[in-house]
Structure 1
Amino acid sequence: MNRLSQETSPYLLQHAYNPVDWYAWSDEALAKAKSENKPILVSIGYSACHWCHVMERECFEKEDIAAVMNEHFVCIKVDREERPDVDAVYMDAVQAMGVRGGWPLNVFLLPDAKPFYGVTYLPAPNWVQLLKSIDNAFTNHYDELAGSAQGFVDNMVLSETEKYGLNAANGNYSVDDLDEMFEQLKKHFDTENGGTDRAPKFPMPSIYKFLLRYYDVTQNPEALAQLELSLNRIALGGIYDHAGGGWARYSVDEDWFIPHFEKMLYDNAQLLSIYSEAFMLTQNELYSDRIRQTISWLKNEMLSQGGGFYSALDADSEGIEGKFYIWTEDELKDILKEDFSWFAKLYNVSKNGNWEHGYNHLHLTNFASQTAKALGIYTEQFEAKYKAALEKLVIKRAERIRPGLDDKILTSWNGLLIKGLTDAYRALGDESIREMAVSCGKFIASKVTLNGQLRHSYKNQKASITGFLEDYAAVMEGYLGLYQITFDESWINQSRLLADYTIDNFYDQTDGYFFFTDAQGEALIARKKELFDNVVPASNSIMATNMYTLGKILDREDYLSLSDQMLLKMHKILKTDLQWVTNWGALYCLRLTPTAEVVFVGSDADSLRKDLDRFFIPNKVVLGTATTSGLPLIQGRTDRNGKALIYVCFDKTCQLPVESVREALEQISG
Structure 2
Amino acid sequence: PDEEGAFFIWKQSEIEELVGQPAADWFCYRWGVEEDGNVRQDPHGEFTGKNILYESRSIEDVARRFDAEPDAVRAAIQQAAAALLAAREQRPRPHLDDKILTAWNGLMISAFAKGAQVLGDERYRAAAVRAAEFVLSKMYRDGVLLRRFRDGEAAIPGFLDDYAFFALALLDLYEAAFDLRYLETAVELARSMRALFEDEENGGYYSTVPGEGHLVLRLKDDYDGAEPSGNSAAALLLLRLAQITGDGAFQNAANRTLEAFAPRLNSAPIAVPQMMVALDFATSKPRQVILVGERGSDGLDAMLRAVRSRFAPNTITLLVDGPEAREKLAAWNPPIEGMTMVEGKATAYVCEDFACQLPSTRAEDLLSISNR
| Aligned residue type for 1:344 | C
TM-score, length basis structure 1: 0.48
| Aligned residue type for 1:475 | F
Deviation at 1:521, TM superposition (A): 4.6
Deviation at 1:332, TM superposition (A): 2.7
1:432 to 123, 129, 139: 123
Note if 1:608 corresponds to 2:316.
no
2:11 to 321, 328, 339: 328
What's the CA shift string for 1:448-470, capped at 9, x where partnerless? Answer: 11110011111111111111101
Deviation at 1:541, TM superposition (A): 0.7
Note if 1:636 corresponds to 2:344.
no
CA contact (8 A) 1:416 1:478 kept: yes
What's the CA shift string for 1:372-417, capped at 9, x where partnerless? Answer: 69xx839998899689948953773265244322111111111111
Note if 1:538 corresponds to 2:222.
no
- What corresponds to 1:393 in structure 2? 81
- What corresponds to 2:209 in structure 1? 518
Distance in 2 separating the partners of 1:424 and 1:384: 35
Label 1:385 to 1:578 Cα distance change in 2 as closer, same or farther (>3 A).
farther
Note if 1:500 corresponds to 2:191.
yes
Q: Matched residues, percent identical?
A: 29
- What corresponds to 2:353 in structure 1? 651
Deviation at 1:570, TM superposition (A): 2.7
| Aligned residue type for 1:579 | I
CA contact (8 A) 1:428 1:614 kept: no
TM-score, length basis structure 2: 0.83
- What corresponds to 1:623 in structure 2? 318
Label 1:531 to 1:385 Cα distance change in 2 as closer, same or farther (>3 A).
farther
Deviation at 1:581, TM superposition (A): 0.9
- What corresponds to 2:42 in structure 1? none
Label 1:562 to 1:391 Cα distance change in 2 as closer, same or farther (>3 A).
farther
Distance in 2 separating the partners of 1:427 and 1:381: 37
CA contact (8 A) 2:221 2:231 kept: yes
1:667 to 358, 369, 372: 369
Taking the TM superposition and a 5 Å limit, the aligned residue runs for 1:178-327 are 318-327=1-10
Distance in 1 separating the partners of 2:105 and 2:188: 19
Deviation at 1:552, TM superposition (A): 0.6
Distance in 1 separating the partners of 2:233 and 2:367: 28
CA contact (8 A) 1:418 1:478 kept: yes
- What corresponds to 1:570 in structure 2? 261
Deviation at 1:584, TM superposition (A): 1.0
Note if 1:349 corresponds to 2:44.
no
| Aligned residue type for 1:412 | A
**Paired residues, what number?**
347
| Aligned residue type for 2:259 | L
Distance in 2 separating the partners of 1:595 and 1:387: 53
2:215 counterpart SS class: coil
Note if 1:598 corresponds to 2:289.
yes
Deviation at 1:622, TM superposition (A): 0.8
Distance in 2 separating the partners of 1:354 and 1:615: 37
Distance in 2 separating the partners of 1:384 and 1:622: 50
- What corresponds to 1:178 in structure 2? none
Name the stretch that deviates more: 378-387 or 516-525: 378-387
Distance in 2 separating the partners of 1:387 and 1:577: 53
Label 1:361 to 1:639 Cα distance change in 2 as closer, same or farther (>3 A).
same
What's the CA shift string for 1:465-523, capped at 9, x where partnerless? Answer: 11110110111111111111111111111111111111112111112111111126545
Label 1:578 to 1:386 Cα distance change in 2 as closer, same or farther (>3 A).
farther
**Bigger relative CO (Cα 8 Å, ≥ 6 apart):** 1
Deviation at 1:321, TM superposition (A): 2.4
What's the CA shift string for 1:101-154, capped at 9, x where partnerless? Answer: xxxxxxxxxxxxxxxxxxxxxxxxxxxxxxxxxxxxxxxxxxxxxxxxxxxxxx
CA contact (8 A) 2:202 2:260 kept: no
| Aligned residue type for 2:225 | N
Deviation at 1:551, TM superposition (A): 1.0
1:561 counterpart SS class: helix
Label 1:551 to 1:520 Cα distance change in 2 as closer, same or farther (>3 A).
farther
| Aligned residue type for 2:218 | R
Name the stretch that deviates more: 322-331 or 574-583: 322-331
- What corresponds to 1:551 in structure 2? 242
Distance in 2 separating the partners of 1:621 and 1:577: 29
Distance in 2 separating the partners of 1:665 and 1:380: 48
- What corresponds to 2:22 in structure 1? 338
Distance in 2 separating the partners of 1:380 and 1:655: 62
CA contact (8 A) 1:507 1:515 kept: yes
Label 1:349 to 1:433 Cα distance change in 2 as closer, same or farther (>3 A).
closer
What's the CA shift string for 1:406-458, capped at 9, x where partnerless? Answer: 11111111111111111111121111211111111111111011110011111
Distance in 2 separating the partners of 1:395 and 1:505: 54
Taking the TM superposition and a 5 Å limit, the aligned residue runs for 1:465-484 are 465-484=156-175
2:108 counterpart SS class: helix
1:514 counterpart SS class: coil
CA contact (8 A) 1:624 1:634 kept: no
